[in-house]
Chain A
Amino acid sequence: MSEFLYVYRGGNRAALSPEQIQQVMQKWMTWMQGLAEKGHLKDRGHPLEAAGKLVSGRTKNVTDGPYVEKDLVGGYSLIEARDLAQAAELSRGCPILEYDGSVEIRPIMQM
């Protein structure tokens, strides 16, 4: 088994009603539970605040986030899968895909 990072980006929910927001959440819970039951969920990970700082360049210039909303990283999880192909396949159930978001799958480098 190898480890993979899921990086969640975007996900539009601006115009959703309370009931619809709850439905999105319940889809996430079902999906996460499915991953956990099959032993794929190494770490649930964390959601990230939208606001942050960006430090860059030799000048170590500090600027405020956020960045372009659709590219904004909203959170991450740590997944266990046989290989990259399986990790990608598993991510296809992620509800963020139904709301204009994306999941980036990055293999963790091994020692």
Chain B
Amino acid sequence: MDPALRNPLWRKVGGGDPARHDSLEHLFRRESGRLIAALIRVFGVHNLALAEDVVQDALCRALEVWKLRGMPENPAAWLMTTAKNRAVDVLRRERRARAFAPDLERLLESEWTFTPTIEEAFGPYAIRDDELRMMFSCVDPRLAEESQVALILHILCGFGVSEIANAFLSSAAAIEKRIARGKKVLSRSKRLFELSQNEDFQARLSAIQRALYLLFNEGYHGSCTERVVRVELCREAMRLAALLTDHALASIPSTRALLALMCLHAARLPTRVDESGSLSLLTDQDRSQWNTQLIAEGQKLLELSATGEQLSEYHVEAAIAWCHVTASSARDTDWGQIVSLYDTLMAIRPSPVIALNRAIAIAQHEGPERGLAVLRAITDRDRLGTYPFYPIALGEFELQCGRHPAAREHFAVALSLARNPSERKFIERRIEACSVRADGR
């Protein structure tokens, strides 16, 4: 296979034991997205349920055969061939009773064109395009953002309903509902979205960028406790973003900036939680553990994204991440530059979380009193009501100002909002820090 089709970027994410990152890891889950894409190509998107059945069949068949006979030499190709053979059976048996892909209908009718059409649909280049078309189809404007993300995870990344529910700390019933709604919209569309330069394309591309950004954030900042789950979400977001940057039409500057942003953040992923399981803030992280390959990759992508006239939020966020990863310590960080980037970000895409991060940068630059004032001036700060990092920031600045009782109160609020053990552990330590310093006076 063409090496460009196997963009290895996401494999570098997550640190840990490199031997575990062999090609078999999550093979079934990853391949299922590719199989669905190929099957939809020949069956038509209205036969989504049928395509899913064929994929399930192929995976179960692999289980039955491999468990006794051992793995074939090329497991991914084995799965693809099995799904293809099954698709051929279905097409031959049901082509009079059922309508398949409308654009292939005539080619599939004649025996002369049947086989080459199937072979082409299951070839690597066609599948890559079909994965992209599927991605564009999943961000249908009739679906809410959260449904789009769930649908991408389910169809393109092969996550089961309970796995998605686990990752988003949501109920399986709620996820099931989102996915069912998404599938309904998908299977009622006449065909997959066409990748051609038009107005719709740009709008959908923005929606995909947004969905992948949310997916990555869920992995990076999200509430799920299991590290492996979170790393997987980040990796999937990067794998799909890399599919976009490999495509001539989709690889616009903001797409590259998005992938740059992901690389620069992912470089720090191994240090986000320390050995004791406590969350570790950027300023405390062991910078020698950051992944230099991902930093270099991110920097390269960021340079490539610096064209055109549009400055996207991804450009700015990537630039902020770049300032952090290239500074040798928290003290040596160019906080002034970061503050001004946050100002730009607030102008492009304001949000209370960005306002909070801006306040933190200001505190680093101009001191904790100033940080507190900016925090308290966030206009829609009530939207941060359940977000533990708002009271954490308040507590931290109060502590730096030497007002321990006030700091402790904010941390206590934060503790009640903690979403997982690593956040809880971190906040408990901050509360301890309040007493240590108070006693030491």
Whether A22 contacts B26 by the Cβ 8 Å rule is yes
Across the interface, which residues of B come within 8 angstroms of A13, CB to CB?
60, 63
Interface residue total, chain A, C-beta cutoff 8 A: 21
Q: Name A75's closest neighbour in chain B (CB-CB).
A: B68
The yes or no answer to B142 lying at the interface (CB within 8 A) is no
Instruction: Out of A21, A44, A74, A75, name the residue touching B28 (CB < 8 Å).
Output: A21
Whether A44 contacts B63 by the Cβ 8 Å rule is no
A-B contact pairs, 6 of them (CB 8 A): A13-B60, A17-B29, A19-B158, A29-B70, A32-B68, A46-B68
Mark contacts of A1-44 with chain B using CB atoms, 8 A cut-off: 1 yes-contact digit, 0 otherwise. 00000000000010011111110110011001000000000001
Mark contacts of B99-122 with chain A using CB atoms, 8 A cut-off: 1 yes-contact digit, 0 otherwise. 000000000000000000000000
Whether B28 contacts A19 by the Cβ 8 Å rule is yes
Within 8 A of A (CB), among B44-66: 55, 59-60, 62-66
The yes or no answer to B223 lying at the interface (CB within 8 A) is no
Known: A29-B70, A46-B69. A19 touches B163 (CB 8 A): yes
Across the interface, which residues of A come within 8 angstroms of B27, CB to CB?
22
Complex Cα gap A103–B203 (Å):
56
Whether B70 contacts A44 by the Cβ 8 Å rule is yes
Known: A13-B63, A17-B163. A22 touches B69 (CB 8 A): no
Within 8 A of A (CB), among B146-199: 158-163
The yes or no answer to B32 lying at the interface (CB within 8 A) is yes
The yes or no answer to B331 lying at the interface (CB within 8 A) is no
The yes or no answer to A66 lying at the interface (CB within 8 A) is no
Interface residue total, chain B, C-beta cutoff 8 A: 25
Binding site for B on A (CB under 8 A): 13, 16-22, 24-25, 28-29, 32, 44-47, 74-75, 77, 95
Across the interface, which residues of A come within 8 angstroms of B163, CB to CB?
17, 19
Q: Name A95's closest neighbour in chain B (CB-CB).
A: B67
Whether B69 contacts A17 by the Cβ 8 Å rule is no
Complex Cα gap A75–B66 (Å):
12
Closest CB of chain B to A104's CB: distance in Å? 16
Whether A47 contacts B28 by the Cβ 8 Å rule is no
Known: A13-B60, A24-B63, A25-B62. A19 touches B68 (CB 8 A): no
Across the interface, which residues of B come within 8 angstroms of A21, CB to CB?
28, 59-60, 62-63
Q: Name A47's closest neighbour in chain B (CB-CB).
A: B64
Known: A21-B63, A24-B63, A29-B70. 4 other contacts (CB 8 A): A22-B27, A22-B29, A25-B63, A47-B68
Complex Cα gap A16–B28 (Å):
12
Known: A24-B63, A25-B62, A25-B63. A17 touches B159 (CB 8 A): yes
Known: A17-B162, A19-B159. A47 touches B29 (CB 8 A): no
**Top-8 shortest CB links A-B:** A17-B160, A28-B67, A22-B28, A18-B28, A18-B32, A18-B29, A47-B64, A18-B158
Whether B26 contacts A19 by the Cβ 8 Å rule is yes
Among B31, B32, B64, B65: residue with most chain A CB under 10 A: B64
Complex Cα gap A46–B60 (Å):
15
Complex Cα gap A12–B162 (Å):
18
Instruction: Out of A18, A28, A75, A95, name the residue touching B160 (CB < 8 Å).
Output: A18
Complex Cα gap A105–B66 (Å):
21
Known: A22-B26, A22-B29. A77 touches B63 (CB 8 A): no
Closest CB of chain B to A94's CB: distance in Å? 10
Closest CB of chain A to B152's CB: distance in Å? 15
Whether A44 contacts B69 by the Cβ 8 Å rule is yes
Among A29, A45, A47: residue with most chain B CB under 10 A: A47
Across the interface, which residues of B come within 8 angstroms of A75, CB to CB?
64, 68
Closest CB of chain B to A36's CB: distance in Å? 10
Whether A25 contacts B68 by the Cβ 8 Å rule is no
Across the interface, which residues of B come within 8 angstroms of A18, CB to CB?
28-29, 31-32, 55, 59, 158, 160
